Amino acid sequence: MDPRLKKRIMMFYLAGVINAFLGLYVAIEGRAFLPPETVRWLALFFFVFAAVDFWFPRVLKKKWLEAKAKLDTQRQAQARSVTGARD
């Protein structure tokens, strides 16, 4: 896998962990100094972004694997056509 893609995937996972921790912090400690409605919205905000941060790397990896498979198929077809032209 491309090192840039691996780095991007790892950064998304790191952001997901940070967002999850922030959501937990707001849900647990936010009640002391924020109104309940604000705590709910902030926690929901952080948890949704954490979910997106864990979902998006899977999409990136899936698209990369599909593109790699397509490229491999094209290379195999091109190699067959070159060897067929030599015969």
What is the DSSP secondary-structure string of 53-67?
A: HHHHHHHHHHHHHHH
Supply 68's token pair: 């790699």
Q: What is the pLDDT of residues 29-47, one digit of tens each?
A: 988 999 999 999 999 999 9
Taking the model in full, what pTM does it have? 0.74
pLDDT at 73: 87
% of the chain at pLDDT higher than 90? 56
